[in-house]
Every structure is written in structure tokens, then in C-alpha cells.
Amino acid sequence: MALKLSELINKTDRLAGGHRLCPGCGASIAVRQILLAVPEGAHVVATGATSCLAVSTAIYPYNSWRISFIHSAFENAGATISGIETAYRALKKQGEISKETYFVVFAGDGGTYDIGFQALSGMLERGHRALYVCYNNEAYMNTGIQRSGATQLGTWTTTSPYGEKSYGKTENRKDLTAIAAAHNVPYVAQASVHNWRDTVLKAKKAFSADGASLINILAPCQRGWRHPMEKTIEIAKLATETGIWPLYEVEEGEWRLTSKVRTRKPIREYLQAQGRFSHLFKPENQDVIDRLQAFVDKQYRQLLLRCGEKPE
């Protein structure tokens, strides 16, 4: 599926500027890229779990969305879009609605990996024709930078602090993308805001899938990750280059890498660029970096095998 920049530059931006998200926020970049995949003029209904995105773009009486947008509770965005999509199908069957409509969820990793996981799993298992987008910034950023199931080993957060008796988060992250693929839905993908072409192509596939789909997109948070706001795209790219966030898709059960890295960089380069990992470079915490590197290497080897690629 080819994609040209000329196809996108004149499309309507469905998320207006002037919202209250931070400069350098990866969430707004992710939303704009995903919505570029919807045909011009098409009707879109989105629901957003409580998150930075929801509270910064839709605070009454202001609204940055140029589509129909419903602010869900933290835990039920998957259930909300399921009900909307079901009502649409019923009304369409009765002849009361004819316009083609696209359905999408935008939720952070806290509202996806943890609090909203049950509703997401139900949406996937039932096969609602809707796209669930997890904009993944690896913590509960809206409520004060608490650790989530997406947070990496060793990360500083306010609920996994570092000090004399702690080196940050003590567990590896959950592999949500693989969990979603295990639901046997038509389309699941892992994306990143630094690669707009890859993201838009994946969103096109997801929106056209005959059933439920999910895109887990890395969206760095300069506030929580402790990096300069202008470095968001650079750091997202480093995540893919080190293998800590590989880009791939699972289409009808077939796993495929969508961005191949010839020689992966050591994760130290990625960690050094972010203040949330600065404590790991103290002598007493060096082994945590080694453990995280071993985890990334193992996950990457498993991914290569699933995708039919030659292991490193």
C-alpha cells in the first residue's frame, strides 16, 4: 500500500491547534497521524478515556476536536465505543443512517494496559468494527507520572522512585501489543510518532479491517520522560533504533516487521537522553541497565522469529 505526502498535506486537520497539551507532546502528533488515514469528508466518532489528551482538548466550553468526540471514564473507553458502534449498525440496518462512519478510541497506557484493559479485551473479543489507539507514554502522566503496566524496568516515576533502597520500577513492561494479537483480531500494530508514513499506513489498514483493531503507538511525554520538548521525535526514533520499541504489524495472524533496523544501537543511548533514567548511570545501578538490555534483546529475538526474520 503506497502512501505519498501529497495525499496528506491538503487534508483537514481533525484536531485543531490551540489546545492545552504541552509543547512537544507526542499524543497530539499521534492523533493527527492516525486521523490522516480517514478519507476526507468521512464521519468519525471518537471516544477518549480520561487522560492528558481528553482533559486538554475538551474542557467545557472549549473543544479542539473537528469530529464527534465523547469523553469516557478512565476505565471504559473500549465499552463506550462498542456501544456506539453497535447502535450505529442497528440504526443502519433499520435504514435510519446511511453515512459511512469510522469509530476510534484514543486512550493512554494507564487507561489501556491497566484500568481499561477489561473493556479493551471485550471490544476485541466481540469484534466491534472500531480502532483502539493506545498513545503510549509509559506512565500515568495526567495524574502525576505514576508507573503503569507500560513502564520500563528501572524507570523513575512518582510511584516507583529511586533512592538508597530503590532503583525505580522493579518489573519489566507488559507486552500489550502481543496480548491484543492473541485475541485473533484482523489487525494489530505497533507504531511510533517519528515514522508518520508507517503510522498512517497502519491506520488505513486498521480502519478498513473487518472487525476490531488496535494500534499501540509510542508517544513520548517530555514532562514525564524528562527530555527537552524539541527532542520528542528524536527520542521516539531512538526507541526503534535500539529495539526497545520495534515497529511491526499482525495482519490476519501474520506477523511482519515494518521497519527493519540493520544494527541496533545499545539502549544506553536511549536511556541517556531522558532524565527519568539518569539514576541508572550511577555505579550501583549499572546492572539494571544490563537487565533491561537483556530483556530487550530477548523480546527482539522473539519478534524476529515470529516475523520469519533471521535472528540476530
Residues 6+ apart with CB under 8 A from 298: none
Mean pLDDT of 151-169: 97
How much is the pLDDT for 78?
98
128-138 per-position pLDDT tens digit: 999 999 999 99
Average pLDDT over residues 283-296: 97
CA–CA dist 186, 134 (Å, integer): 17
| pLDDT higher than threshold 70 for residue 1 | no
Closest CA to 137 of 59, 192, 86: 192
As a whole-number percent, the residues of the chain with pLDDT over 90 amount to 93
φ/ψ (deg, to 5) at 272: -65, -25
pLDDT band of residue 4 (cuts 50, 70, 90) is: confident
What's the Rg (C-alpha) of the chain?
A: 19
Which range is least confidently modeled, 147-151, 299-303, 308-312? 308-312
Q: Note the pLDDT of residue 162.
A: 96
Mean pLDDT score, 265-270: 98
Q: What is the pLDDT of residue 175?
A: 98
- Is the predicted pLDDT of residue 3 greater than 90, yes or no? no
- Which pLDDT does position 257 carry in this prediction? 98
- Cell numbers linked to 135: 498513545
C-alpha distance from residue 100 to each of 12, 39, 66, 128 (Å): 18, 10, 17, 15
Delineate the domains of the chain, giving CATH numbers in brackets.
11-306 (3.40.50.970)
Look at residue 8 and tell me whether its pLDDT is greater than 90. Answer: no
What phi and psi, each to the nearest 5 degrees, are found at residue 300?
Answer: -70, -40
231-256 tens-digit pLDDT:
999 999 999 999 999 999 999 999 99
Whether the per-residue pLDDT at 7 is higher than 90: the answer is: no
Determine the average pLDDT of the residues in 116-126.
98
Q: Are residues 267 and 289 in contact, defined by beta-carbon separation less than 8 angstroms?
A: yes
pLDDT band at 29 (very low <50, low <70, confident <90, very high): very high
> Is it the case that residue 5 has pLDDT exceeding 90?
no
Q: What's the mean pLDDT in 164-168?
A: 95
Q: How confident is the model at residue 312 (pLDDT cuts 50, 70, 90)?
A: confident
Question: pTM of this prediction?
Answer: 0.97
Sequence-distant (6+) residues with CB within 8 A of 199 are 30, 33, 34, 191, 192, 193, 215, 217
Tell me what pLDDT residue 248 has: 98
Spatial contact of 189 and 248, defined as CB atoms under 8 Å apart: yes
Distance in angstroms (rounded) separating the CA atoms of residues 239 and 277: 14
Residue 253 confidence (pLDDT): 97
Over the chain, what HEC string results?
A: CCCCHHHCCCCCCCECCCCCCCCCCHHHHHHHHHHCCCCCCCEEEEEECCCHHHHHHCCCCCCCECCEEEECCCCCHHHHHHHHHHHHHHHHHCCCCCCCEEEEEEEECHHHHHCCHHHHHHHHHHCCCCEEEEEECCCECCCCCECCCCCCCCCCECCECEECCEECCCCCCCCHHHHHHCCCCCEEEEEECCCHHHHHHHHHHHHHCCCCEEEEEECCCHHHHCCCHHHHHHHHHHHHHHCCCCCEEEECCEEEECCCCCCCCCHHHHHHCCHHHHHHHCHHHHHHHHHHHHHHHHHHHHHHHHCCCCCC
Span 59-113, pLDDT tens digits: 889 999 999 999 999 999 999 999 999 999 999 999 999 999 999 999 999 999 9
* Per-residue pLDDT at 26 exceeds 70: yes
Average pLDDT, the chain: 96
